């Protein structure tokens, strides 16, 4: 039987974590799929880690695996840290803030199995995919970020900055270690590198819903970091 690991990076997600974990457990249990959920908390000041410990008591240490770090070290390295301990054959990466709904997991798994894809990427920008709850400015930032990357890098994937994806374990391993970026641009670099290495990428339309609880971490610094990373990739790939 195949096992799926879900990597959940968290920073100040104490309200969201119990809900996302409950939904994941429900889905995997109903589908009779073997799984583990790896929570990578970066020293959240809101006490997310304490919540995660409670969840571990409820669902068991084999299902909820805690891989905390001392402080906020960024998403890119959080994934590297998380997969070091992953025991699944396949790895889901998703946000812990409920923007990514576990109901789409079945479609990821099916598409991967039917085509033996190396990567399946959730996309907001084709088919039934979409974004809900963002204001115009935020939508524009996302669209423009995606568009510039499309023009410069021609990656053959419709949603480059999305972060709801399924990988074969060895593929993810190779990709994260070949990526140089640390911040938001990381997700885009992963897809670019996947193409570079000749991995196959499938896409599942997803609806992305803006977070209800907690605060956004997207600020001017992230936007500048993204543009820098993009130009770097443009110049080097």
Ligand X SMILES: Nc1nc2c(ncn2[C@@H]2O[C@H](COP(=O)(O)OP(=O)(O)OP(=O)(O)O)[C@@H](O)[C@H]2O)c(=O)[nH]1
Q: By CB under 5 A, which span of 15-23, 97-105, 136-144, 218-226 interacts with Mg ion?
A: 97-105
Query: Is residue 5 at the binding interface for ligand X, with CB under 6 A as the rule?
Result: no
Distances (CA, A) of 81 to 68, 185, 204: 9, 18, 26
Q: CA 40 to CA 24: how far, in whole Å?
A: 16
Q: Per CB under 5 A, which of residues 37..96 are in contact with Mg ion? A: 95
Query: Is residue 101 at the binding interface for ligand X, with CB under 6 A as the rule?
Result: no
Q: Contact with Mg ion (CB under 5 A): which of 12, 44, 99, 142?
A: 99
Query: Is residue 13 at the binding interface for Mg ion, with CB under 5 A as the rule?
Result: no
* Burial of 134 from C-beta contacts in 10 A (0-12 / 13-18 / 19+): middle
Query: Is residue 99 at the binding interface for ligand X, with CB under 6 A as the rule?
Result: yes
* Nearest distance, CB of residue 201 and ligand X, angstroms: 21
Closer Cβ to ligand X, 115 or 221, answer by number? 221
Signed CA dihedral, 118, 105, 86, 164: sign only: positive
Query: Is residue 55 at the binding interface for ligand X, with CB under 6 A as the rule?
Result: no
218 HSE (CA, 13 A, CB side): 14
Query: Is residue 9 at the binding interface for ligand X, with CB under 6 A as the rule?
Result: yes
Distances (CA, A) of 185 to 53, 76, 130, 236: 30, 9, 20, 15
Q: Per CB under 6 A, which of residues 166..225 are in contact with ligand X? A: 211, 216-218
For residues 204 and 121, the answer to whether their CB atoms sit within 8 Å is yes
Closer Cβ to Mg ion, 38 or 75, answer by number? 75
Query: Is residue 189 at the binding interface for Mg ion, with CB under 5 A as the rule?
Result: no
The footprint of ligand X on this chain (CB under 6 A) covers a number of residues equal to 19
Q: CA 23 to CA 101: how far, in whole Å?
A: 8
For residues 174 and 197, the answer to whether their CB atoms sit within 8 Å is yes
Residues that bind ligand X (CB under 6 A): 9-11, 13, 40-42, 72, 74-75, 78, 95-97, 99, 211, 216-218
Residues that bind Mg ion (CB under 5 A): 95, 97, 99
């Amino acid at each position: 039987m195949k096992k799926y690991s879900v990597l959940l990076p968290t920073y100040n997600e104490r309200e969201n974590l119990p809900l996302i974990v409950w939904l994941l457990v429900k889905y995997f249990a109903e589908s009779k799929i073997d799984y583990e959920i790896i929570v990578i908390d970066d020293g959240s000041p809101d006490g997310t880690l304490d919540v995660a410990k409670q969840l571990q008591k409820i669902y068991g240490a084999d299902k909820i695996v805690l891989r905390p770090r001392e402080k906020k070290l960024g998403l890119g390295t959080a994934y590297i840290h998380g997969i070091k301990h992953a025991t699944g054959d396949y790895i889901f990466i998703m946000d812990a803030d409920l923007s990514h709904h576990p109901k789409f997991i079945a479609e990821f798994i099916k598409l991967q199995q039917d085509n033996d894809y190396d990567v399946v990427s959730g996309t907001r920008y084709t088919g039934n995919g979409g974004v809900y709850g963002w204001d115009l400015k935020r939508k524009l930032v996302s669209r423009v970020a995606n568009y510039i990357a499309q023009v410069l890098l021609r990656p053959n994937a419709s949603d480059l900055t999305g972060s709801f994806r399924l990988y074969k374990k060895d593929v993810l391993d190779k990709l994260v270690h070949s990526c140089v970026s640390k911040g938001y641009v990381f997700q885009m670099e992963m897809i670019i590198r996947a193409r570079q290495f000749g991995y196959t990428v499938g896409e599942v339309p997803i609806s992305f819903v803006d977070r209800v609880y907690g605060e956004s971490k997207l600020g001017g610094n992230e936007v500048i970091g993204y543009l820098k990373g993009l130009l770097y990739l443009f110049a080097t790939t």
